Amino acid sequence: MSVQSPPAALTEAPAPIQKVEPAEKWRRLLMAPSVVPLLLWMVIPLALTIYFSFIHYSLESQAGNFSFVGLQNYQFLWGDYRFLTAILNTIIFLVSVLVITVVVGVLLAVLYDQDFPGKNIAMLLVIAPFFVMPTVTAQIWDRLFMDPIYGVIAQFLQAIGIPPIDWLQSYPLLSIIIMVSWEWIPFSFLILVTALKSLDQEQKEAAAIDGAGSFTLFRRIVLPHLEKAIGVVVMIEMIFLLSIFAEIFTTTKGGPGDASTTLAYLVYSLGINQFDAGIASAGGILAVILANIVSFFLVRMLAKNLRQNA
Amino acid sequence: MSKSALAKLGFAVLGWFIGALFFFPIFWIAVTSFKSESDAATASLIFQPTLDAFVGIFTGTDYFLNVRNSIFLSFGSTILCFILAIPSAYRMAFYPTQKTQSLLLWMLSTKMMPAVGVLIPIYLVWKWLHLFDTVIGLIIVNALMNLPIAVWMAYTYFSEVPKGILEAGRIDGATAGQELWHLLRPMTMPGLSSTALLLIILSWNEAFWSLNLTGHDSAPLTAFIASQTGSQGQTLAALSAASLLAIGPIMIMGWFTQKQLVRGLTFGAVK
């Protein structure tokens, strides 16, 4: 739903020469079922979010509602220590999950690019967590694994004489990072292992004959080949991770204190818990701006790709 | 043993170990769901299997209501999505104009808006329109969210159909309807049905909107599972049983859609 226009070069792409026929008028209408709803879905909510962010809008009391307050909502957010905490948490969360998923994803892609018995089944096991709904992920990690008394981790640690850890209380953000990484490593792995398949086997063999060791092979041939796919993984994950909500909502509720409050959770808690639609919208706009910076690069890359395939 | 056979064994051991590691939490849900609540509180593999937990969620909760909502939501949004997507994909693939590529990119870019950026207005508008806490409201949200993916996938599958076949059909006097049904449908069915599977999975697992836009009546499984708080350690078997049923079928579907998943979620940037 970003508001940028596609690169100009695209509109100049050569089009097949067509006769203007009467049927063409009707064919244009075929675009309406997808374009009109998407336009509404994109323009109206975004315009409303921008509008709300400049007015006083309490869902609780009517006093002063809809009065224009300029940048006050943004100023309030900026002055609120929770906002700075949320921004910091969002950055720590995003960077950690991205680094973990990409690094582990690349290593796993290389491993499962090798041939061994039962490889396909082992791969299915690695991919499985991506299909687990986020609230189930949150619940099983919280209550079956990270619980300090009943959790598998605590009971295992106790068996070898290490005192159990109350993960979600003591390390809330780290716990969320672990859960989300478990869900998204399969995604990056699946993309990267697919990309690796298109690497020319002969190129690898030629390099091996030239005496390249496995590390040189990895650094000089495998990594450069995966560069584009890694870019795609990073951008798509960023867009999804900016709105990560269910894992926090189900487990820590942003706490203890604000220790696991991210920008997405803050917007929810300001708007839907504390009924301040104006300030929450200002937070929403900041998330949109962040996402737009990312999607600008993603759309440029997709445009290049479309042109190559056309 | 030769060096390469040894390497193969090493890869196999490592590959299987990592697979087991990633799958372990899911395996553990399955194990716990067959325990009694008192056994579930200990991390032991030795226990008397029982179906109590399954009986409990079916008799003690509105589980059927949540399952029904999830099924309506995922199938309903997928059908709606296809109805909206197919005509446009058809037009863009077979009658492209100068604007087609920009239009396609614009559609993909709508997917890049973070949901949280429109949470407040959608929440309020859905309340005004009485769509809040209704399955139909969730169906609309999910269909719109997945629409760019559906258009994109249908467009790529249509584009792969050899142009000559359609022309031959037209020369033989096929109408547009016959062309769609007798030529395009059989040729693009495998691609489109796995796209449908992908959309079903995505909306089945979608949690951001289902947590924010539903109350009791329209809660799908995602919201139901989130509400299972209970005191720690006391309802683990019930939680596991409910979770296992919620993720089992969809995970098996997911295993069959790997290729479409890569294609659909990266918009063709990785194939």
- Could you say which residues from 141 to 170 on chain A have a Cβ atom under 8 Å away from some Cβ of chain B? 141, 143-145, 147, 149-152, 155-156
Q: Is A230 on the interface with B (CB under 8 A)?
A: no
CATH topology assigned to domain A8-18+81-309: MetI-like fold (1.10.3720)
Q: Is B180 on the interface with A (CB under 8 A)?
A: no
Q: Which domain holds residue B254?
A: 61-265
Q: Is B257 on the interface with A (CB under 8 A)?
A: no
A211 vs A182: which has the higher pLDDT = A182
Q: Determine the Cα–Cα distance for residues B183 and B169; give it in Å rounded to an integer.
A: 8
Residues B134 and B159 reside in one and the same domain? yes
Q: What are the boundaries of each domain within chain A?
A: 8-18+81-309
Report pLDDT digits (tens) over B99-144: 888 888 888 888 878 888 888 899 999 999 999 999 999 999 999 9
Q: Determine the Cα–Cα distance for residues A136 and B243; give it in Å rounded to an integer.
A: 6
Residues B134 and B155 reside in one and the same domain? yes
The CATH number covering residue B136 comes to: 1.10.3720.10
Report pLDDT digits (tens) over A149-187: 888 888 888 888 888 888 888 899 999 999 999 999 999
Residues B141 and B26 reside in one and the same domain? no
Q: Give CA B117 to chain center in angstroms.
A: 22
3-state DSSP assignment of residue B141 = helix
| Residue at B186 is within a domain | yes
Residues B44 and B100 reside in one and the same domain? no
Residues B165 and B224 reside in one and the same domain? yes
Radius of gyration, CA atoms only, chain B: 23
Out of A5-14, A219-228, A268-277, B233-242, pick the least confident.
A5-14
Confidence of residue B74 (pLDDT cuts 50, 70, 90): very high
Q: Give CA A307 to chain center in angstroms.
A: 26
Q: Which chain A residues are within 8 Å of B7, Cβ to Cβ?
A: 114
- Taking the alpha carbons at both ends of chain A, their separation in whole angstroms is 24
Residues B108 and B233 reside in one and the same domain? yes
What distance in Å separates residue A183's CA from the closest CA in chain B? Answer: 10
Q: Which of B101, B115, B185, B124 is nearest to B144 (CA)?
A: B115
Residues B36 and B72 reside in one and the same domain? no
| Average confidence (pLDDT) over B24-32 | 93
| Residue at B161 is within a domain | yes
Which of B28, B109, B204 lies closest to A4 in CB terms? B109
A78 vs B18: which has the higher pLDDT = B18
Residues B250 and B146 reside in one and the same domain? yes
| Residue at B230 is within a domain | yes
Q: Is B12 on the interface with A (CB under 8 A)?
A: yes
Report pLDDT digits (tens) over A81-122: 888 899 899 989 999 999 999 999 999 999 998 888 888 899
Report pLDDT digits (tens) over A9-40: 444 455 555 555 677 778 888 888 999 999 99
Residues B48 and B162 reside in one and the same domain? no
| Residue at B224 is within a domain | yes
Q: Determine the Cα–Cα distance for residues A54 and A65; give it in Å rounded to an integer.
A: 11
3-state helix, strand, coil in chain B (%, to 5): 75, 0, 25
Q: Model pTM? A: 0.86
Q: What is the pLDDT of residue B84?
A: 94
Residues B75 and B40 reside in one and the same domain? no
Question: Which residues have a Cβ under 8 Å from the Cβ of B59 and sit 6 or more positions away?
Answer: none
Q: Could you give the number of structural domains in chain B?
A: 2
Q: What is the pLDDT of residue A67?
A: 81
A260, A176 contact by CB (below 8 A): yes
- Interchain pair B151, A187: CB under 8 A: no
